Each structure stands twice: as C-alpha cells, then as structure tokens.
Structure 1
Amino acid sequence: MSQDHQLRLFIAVARANSLRQAAEILGVTQPALSKQIRALESTLGEALFLRHGRGMQLTPGGHELFLKVEPLFNSLDTTVALATHQSSHGGTLRIATVQTLVPGFIPELSRQLLAVYPSIRLTIHCDSSANVVESVERGKSDIGFVYETAVDGLNMISEPLFEERLALYTRANCDTNSDKLLNLAALKLILPPKPYALRRIVERVLGYSVQPYIECDSLELSLRLVSICDGVTVLPDGMPRDMVEDRGLRREPLTAIQPRRLVALSRSTRGQSRTLDKALEIASSVGARSAITSG
C-alpha cells in the first residue's frame, strides 16, 4: 500500500482518537487498519500512537507529523474538488447523503439541478452521517447532506436546510401510543446500526443502548419488514405516501422527540464553483418546502 494512503489512514485515526471509530468511518476492518498504521510506524522508525483501553493517543512525534501532513492533504483535496467544478455547464458533482433524504429531497434536488445543467454527471452515495462527513472532509464528495449534530466542531462550511420530525411506523392495525416513550422501549424496534444518527437519537431518548429486534441500514427494507412482521421502525415523519399508507402502514408522530436539523456540508465557500453554488441554492429551496410539508 502506498505511503500517501497510509498517511491518510494515520490522519483518520488521529482525528478519531480511536482505531475502532476510524475503521468504521473508513469502511475497513480494525485489524487491517492497525496493520497499516504499524507499517507506517515501521517505515518512519518511531511510534505514532500510544495505545490504551480508551483509544489511540498521538505520541509527540505523531502529533508533529499530524500537524505537518493534515494541512497538506486538506489543501490537495480542496484543489481536486475545485478542479472538478471549473466548467459551469458540465463536470461532476459528487453528493453524499444520509438515507432518510433519498425518498423525496435528493430526487427533487437532482431533477432541478439536471434541468439547469443537463450535461452534468451526478454521483450519489448514501451512508451514515459519520461517513458522509468523512467523505466530504476527505474530498471524496463535494457536498454532503447530514444531521447538524454530526458536524459540530468540524472545520467545514455548514448551511442549515430544514428541521425534520420523527415518527413511529407500524402496521395500520397495530395498537401503540407513541407519545409514551416508555412504550417505545417495549416495542420490537427495527433500527439502523450504531454509526447512524437515527439509532443514536432513539438510544439517547430511551437513556440506554438498545438491542433492535432487527438491525437494518436500508430505509426501504425497514418499512417492508414492518409490513410483514411484528416490528416497528422510527423514521422521518415525511416519508412518501406510496412507501407508507399504500403499503398498509401507519405513521404516528413522536412529538416528545425534538426535531433534528439537516444541513448541507461542503469544504468550498460560495463563489468558487457555480455548480456547487447552484446545488446549495436548490437544496435550500427544496429544504424550505420540505419544512413546510412536514410542519
């Protein structure tokens, strides 16, 4: 593996202060990541991390290396991202998004953007909030749509879009009272894995870690499972009718859970790319209508 890639892995671990969390963000196994970090340490002839039960702590030498290489990779990623947008009538726009925006927001954003730039090539990647942030941070995506809580403290540009309320989705004949959160704990919950913001919200409301009835990272499949088994799921209140009522499902707003804010995340300021600027403009417009619809 090339040394520049090993350095990128080193930066990811240094940012996360945890081999496990960095491996989840990067989509690699923890042993494979550990092997590459040790290979880099062997090449440089010094330890870069102090390993302990709470995570990974940079050594003085590791901290010095991080301060040197992180700005260089940030600059390189920004240059590559900006070069992608030099043409205002074509090129590629790389979008990373959380899955809950896929049914309505992302298709409408894409439709309007393609109407302005018919020759643009869109790439759309769906993932957890943490991985969307990482994708934008590393320059793999030009714009990311995530929940505000996932970008706290990050040195990137975040533009608020709209607030999203959550609802409990059950079969139409299922008798539940979703305003009583104690009942939520007693239900057979179908939830995404732990890296997903929605899972963390449910666990924060309940006050403890849950073991889902079914763990599923697909929004479409989660609703399908609700329609054929005794499970229930928690998703945004604005799921399209053809995914809910037309399948014999019912939505019950979880009014006791605070709405969560969606933001557009990028590394480029407005005025550096017409395509990115237009995407942000459309996202704000579509987001405003989404807020009215779900309000």
Structure 2
Amino acid sequence: MFVAVARANSLREAADILGVTQPALSKQIRALEASLSRTLFLRHGRGMELTPDGRAMFLEVEPLLNALDTAFSRSSLQSRHGGTLRIAMVQTLVASFMSMLSRELLDVYPDLQLTIHCDSSTNVVESIERGRADIGFVYETAVDGPDLVSQPLFEETLALYTRADADTDTDAVPGLAAMKLIVPPRAYALRRIVERALGAAVQPYIECDSLELSLRLVSMTDGVTVLPSTLPRDMIEDRGLRRRLLPSMPARRLVALSRSGHRASPAFDAALEIARRIGTRAITPG
C-alpha cells in the first residue's frame, strides 16, 4: 500500500489501483507511520508527497517489491509450463526409454523448454558435475563422483543384432569374439560391458558411436552389434535385421544422476517419476 501511494502521489488513485476504499488505505498508511514513528507523506490538496524519510524508505522497499513480483511471476510460469529441463543421456536410450519419457513429460508440461543431449557415459557424468545438465540418465558402471546423487531405475538386457539372412545362431557371449563387432569407442559403458563379458579387449570391425549408424552398418556389411534388447521392432525389421537375446550377457542398471544439493523443479521431479514408472513396466523387445 505504501509503494502504491508513493507511485501514484494520490491516495484516491492508489485506492482505485488496490481495490480498497480511500479511508481504509489512509488508515493503513497512518498505522505504518505510527509503527515507524516517522512521517512518510505530506498531505496537501494536490495529493500525497513523500517526505525525506518516506523517499528513503521508498528507495529501499520498491526494488524488494519488484524482485518479489518477479519471483512470483517466474514461479507461476514454471508451475504452468514446467520451465526448462536439460537432460543428458547415453545414446542407446534414445530409441526406447527416452522416446517414452519425453512424450509423457511433454504431456504433463506441453510448453516445457526441454533440451536433450546425447553423449558417452563419461561425458554425461561430466555434464551433471559441471552443471550443464539438470538430470542425467546413464548406466551405473559409469557413475563416479562424491557430488553426484544416483537413483537406480531399472535393469536393461542386451541383444545381438545381425542381418536377417546372416548365418549367425549364437546366443553365447564367448561366440562374440569370433564375430565382426561394430561397437562404440571405449569411453562408452556398452563397450566396456562387452569387453568385461568377453574377458578381453575388443578389436572392432568398425568403431561407431551412433546407434542409428551402427544398425545401418550391420545391414550393409558382415558386421554385428550389441545394443539394448528393447529397440523398437520397426527399427530392426525396416533394416532387414534380426535380434538375438544374449541371456549370458550381464544386465546393466540404468540410474538417474543429479548434483548433490541441486534444486529440483516440478519438471525435474516429473521426469524422475516418469522414469521410475517406465522401469516398473515390462520393457520387452518390440
């Protein structure tokens, strides 16, 4: 009320702006002056004029009130539209997990400014540590750092992808050593999982860090690749490929990463809840 009167230089105009009666506003201003033991306004026929004490108070209070208005506006915008959310993730999650998560998240927050960055496990962890992303989805084997908060989501199985006409019938991990493997660089957790399962370093037929390109290369060459067993069916069949589950290949656990002390937004909490929900569903090849 004080700021409204100071801005309007008129008790009547300020009362109209605030939606109160002029006597009620005058009473509140007098009560404020009494509580401060200061005269804040000079009253005359032309309106209300700030005294030196009143102007000093106005210069202190108005910026605070403006900041409060801005904070409420931003909070209201975030509650309605979700604000912004930056997600970093390993590339093998794009086709299945991330497509479901982003669709459901945007159903809740249709105007959310969503940024998705795909990278190696190591770089996803670094993005969280350096504050370049709010939440990261990565495999547990890549998590390392005292300032990281890791929340387990679900376990994912792996499969061997070959051309449909290829003479390949193995579902045993040792058999992979004799195949022409198309695998990502060693910085990727998937490469390290394959090498640990084989008990030896892999000499790749082709080294490729793109899921889409890896599948395309399998369709065009004699190479094979190991990827999540949950890739959509059309992604496999449209390329003339076949999927063979690898039951002896260790499953890997997907986790959600954030920085310790990170202030969660409504969109952050929603993304985490949706990710947990996806994990409770039966994610099967399809």
Fold in common (TM above 0.5):
yes
Q: Letter of the aligned partner of 1:124 in structure 2?
A: I
Q: Letter of the aligned partner of 1:267 in structure 2?
A: R
By how many angstroms is 1:271 displaced? 7.6
The 5-angstrom pairing of residues 96-175 of structure 1 reads 96-152=88-144, 154-175=146-167
Between 1:203-212 and 1:152-161, the stretch displaced more is 152-161
Provide the residue aligned with 1:201 in structure 2: 193
Equivalent residues of 2:139, 2:253 under 8 A apart: yes
Provide the residue aligned with 2:24 in structure 1: none
Q: Letter of the aligned partner of 2:86 in structure 1?
A: R
- In the alignment, the residues of structure 1 paired with residue 236 and residue 136 of structure 2 have an alpha-carbon distance, to the nearest angstrom, of 26
Structure 1 unaligned spans of 5+: 1-84
> Does 1:278 pair with 2:278?
no
> Does 1:178 pair with 2:170?
yes
- In the alignment, the residues of structure 1 paired with residue 248 and residue 264 of structure 2 have an alpha-carbon distance, to the nearest angstrom, of 42
Partner secondary structure for residue 219 of structure 2: helix
Partner secondary structure for residue 167 of structure 1: strand
Aligned length: 210
Partner secondary structure for residue 225 of structure 2: strand
- In the alignment, the residues of structure 1 paired with residue 83 and residue 260 of structure 2 have an alpha-carbon distance, to the nearest angstrom, of 16
Report the CA distance shift for 1:235/1:192 in structure 2 as closer, same or farther (over 3 A).
Answer: same
Structure 2 unaligned spans of 5+: 1-73
By how many angstroms is 1:135 displaced? 0.2
Equivalent residues of 1:166, 1:234 under 8 A apart: yes
> Does 1:260 pair with 2:252?
yes
By how many angstroms is 1:268 displaced? 5.4
Partner secondary structure for residue 85 of structure 2: strand
- In the alignment, the residues of structure 2 paired with residue 150 and residue 244 of structure 1 have an alpha-carbon distance, to the nearest angstrom, of 27
Report the CA distance shift for 1:155/1:269 in structure 2 as closer, same or farther (over 3 A).
Answer: closer
Equivalent residues of 1:178, 1:253 under 8 A apart: no
Between 1:266-275 and 1:111-120, the stretch displaced more is 266-275
TM-score by length of 1: 0.67
Q: Which runs of 4+ in 1 moved over 6 A?
A: none
- In the alignment, the residues of structure 2 paired with residue 287 and residue 220 of structure 1 have an alpha-carbon distance, to the nearest angstrom, of 23
Provide the residue aligned with 2:233 in structure 1: 241
TM-score by length of 2: 0.69
Q: Letter of the aligned partner of 1:197 in structure 2?
A: A
Provide the residue aligned with 1:27 in structure 2: none
Provide the residue aligned with 1:15 in structure 2: none
Between 1:278-287 and 1:226-235, the stretch displaced more is 278-287
By how many angstroms is 1:124 displaced? 0.4
The 5-angstrom pairing of residues 81-92 of structure 1 reads 87-88=78-79, 89-92=81-84
Equivalent residues of 1:161, 1:261 under 8 A apart: yes
Provide the residue aligned with 2:33 in structure 1: none
Q: Letter of the aligned partner of 2:133 in structure 1?
A: S
Residues 221-272 of structure 1, C-alpha deviations (whole Å, 9 max, x = no match): 1001111110000001111111112321111111111110001111256984
By how many angstroms is 1:205 displaced? 1.3
- In the alignment, the residues of structure 1 paired with residue 243 and residue 104 of structure 2 have an alpha-carbon distance, to the nearest angstrom, of 29
Provide the residue aligned with 2:59 in structure 1: none
> Does 1:293 pair with 2:274?
no
Report the CA distance shift for 1:294/1:266 in structure 2 as closer, same or farther (over 3 A).
Answer: farther
Percent identity (aligned): 69
By how many angstroms is 1:213 displaced? 0.5
Match of 2:180 among 163, 188, 203: 188
Q: Which has the larger radius of gyration?
A: 2
By how many angstroms is 1:181 displaced? 2.7
Report the CA distance shift for 1:268/1:109 in structure 2 as closer, same or farther (over 3 A).
Answer: farther
Match of 1:217 among 209, 215, 219: 209
Equivalent residues of 2:152, 2:254 under 8 A apart: yes
Residues 38-77 of structure 1, C-alpha deviations (whole Å, 9 max, x = no match): xxxxxxxxxxxxxxxxxxxxxxxxxxxxxxxxxxxxxxxx
> Does 1:228 pair with 2:220?
yes
Report the CA distance shift for 1:95/1:282 in structure 2 as closer, same or farther (over 3 A).
Answer: same
By how many angstroms is 1:152 displaced? 4.4
Residues 161-192 of structure 1, C-alpha deviations (whole Å, 9 max, x = no match): 11100111001121223333332111000000
